[in-house]
């Protein structure tokens, strides 16, 4: 009998539209001959399963089921592809743990920690991993633009501490730009992170581990046509993505080894993607850890799966059948 797979998308942040695109990608990647696939959207209190293009049914939150024509359907596995709250920060993971439903990504603690960029990076810094100098602001904090610049220099990146897809992110080059940029970032959440600019080559590396194997994907080099790898670069084609990255074998191996180390340190599950910047002297600097990376056909992970010579359907099956959360 085929397993019923819920591809869980939506969320309550600006990344909802990206999440829905990832759900469509996953729907095409997960093999129909092995699984019954359903896209489930969670947007606020409205939880629905998409039965057809024109029909949606409510999800029973007691057991994450739905009823159609008097017949109740339960899910065997949830593939979480919400980029933002509640699917990337541990809230949904906690719910699935309570009802005993296996899911694709890391658990409550790892999700909550990695979702908070400042907390995650400071934690990993304790393991000797290089990060940018940074400051965190909370709403209500007194903001002294001159003091921030004296501490971090210019330019700096200002971004929401718990956001993604570069929503609310600004590259600030002058003191006059700083306060407005902080305001834009606060529009996306209650915490803001300000990071020193690092000049170098931006790269990203995907990985997943199951009970049976570790798979580290080829690295992608990101060359943005914009000031930085912003929303337009990510989703509107204003970027060159080179897989495998133009790195030496030695640096490639170091990045892949570090990615595997970070996976274990944070206690990840399923596919994650770790972003870095390589600065002068081949110094590897962590940018952030993404535990529910984008899964549209043009996203980094599907690109890296293809570059590795793997079949995306096989990768999906491996995660569904052998994930450590099962």
Residue 299 neighbours by CB under 8 Å, 6+ apart: 22, 25, 293
Average pLDDT over residues 180-209: 93
Q: What confidence tens digit (pLDDT) does each residue in 259-268 have?
A: 999 999 999 9
Convert the pLDDT of each residue in 137-148 to its tens digit: 999 899 999 999
What's the mean pLDDT in 199-216? 94
pLDDT for the residue numbered 323? 79
- In this structure, are residues 301 and 206 in contact, taking their beta carbons and an 8 Å threshold? yes
| Residue 277 CB coordination number (10 Å) | 19
Confidence of residue 235 (pLDDT cuts 50, 70, 90): very low
The confidence score (pLDDT) of residue 231 equals 46
Judged against a pLDDT cut of 50, whether residue 326 lies above it is answered with: no
Nearest to 287 by CA among 227, 207, 228: 228
pTM of the model: 0.91
Least confident stretch, 153-157, 163-167, 207-211, 238-242:
163-167
Q: Is the Cα dihedral 244, 289, 11, 195 positive or negative? A: negative
Digit-coded pLDDT (tens) for 63-121: 999 999 999 999 999 999 999 899 999 999 999 999 999 999 999 999 999 999 999 99
Mean of pLDDT over the chain: 92
H helix intervals, 30-142: 91-99, 108-115, 117-125
Mean pLDDT throughout 15-22?
A: 92
Residue 188 burial class via C-beta count within 10 angstroms: exposed 0-12, middle 13-18, buried 19 and up: buried
């Amino acid at each position: 009998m085929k397993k019923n797979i819920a591809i869980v998308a939506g969320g309550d942040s600006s990344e909802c539209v990206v999440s829905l695109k990832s759900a469509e990608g996953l729907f095409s990647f997960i093999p129909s001959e092995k699984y019954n696939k359903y896209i489930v959207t969670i947007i606020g209190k409205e939880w629905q399963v998409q039965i057809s293009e024109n029909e949606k049914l409510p999800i029973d939150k007691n057991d994450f089921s739905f009823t159609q024509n008097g017949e109740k359907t339960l899910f065997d596995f949830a593939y979480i592809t919400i980029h933002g709250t509640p699917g990337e920060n541990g809230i949904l993971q906690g719910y699935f743990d309570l009802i005993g439903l296996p899911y694709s990504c890391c658990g409550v603690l790892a999700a909550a920690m990695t979702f908070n960029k400042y907390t995650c990076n400071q934690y990993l810094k304790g393991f000797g991993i290089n990060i940018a100098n940074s400051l965190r602001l909370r709403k209500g904090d007194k903001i002294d633009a001159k003091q921030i610049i004296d501490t971090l220099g210019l330019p700096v990146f200002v971004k929401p501490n718990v956001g993604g897809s570069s929503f609310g992110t600004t590259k600030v080059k002058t003191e006059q730009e700083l306060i407005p940029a902080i305001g834009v970032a606060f529009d996306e959440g209650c915490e803001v992170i300000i990071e020193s600019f690092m000049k170098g080559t931006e790269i990203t590396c995907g990985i997943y581990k199951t009970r049976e194997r570790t798979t580290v994907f080829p690295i992608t080099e990101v060359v943005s046509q914009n000031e930085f790898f912003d929303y337009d670069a990510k989703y509107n084609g204003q970027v060159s993505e080179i897989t495998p990255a133009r790195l030496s074998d030695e640096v490639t191996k170091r990045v892949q080894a570090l990615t595997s180390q970070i996976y274990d340190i944070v206690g990840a599950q399923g596919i994650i993607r770790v972003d870095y910047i390589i600065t002068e002297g081949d110094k590897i600097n962590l940018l952030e850890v993404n535990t529910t990376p984008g899964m549209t056909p043009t996203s980094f992970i599907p690109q890296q799966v293809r570059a590795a010579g793997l079949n995306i359907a096989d990768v999906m099956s491996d995660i569904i059948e052998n994930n450590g959360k099962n």
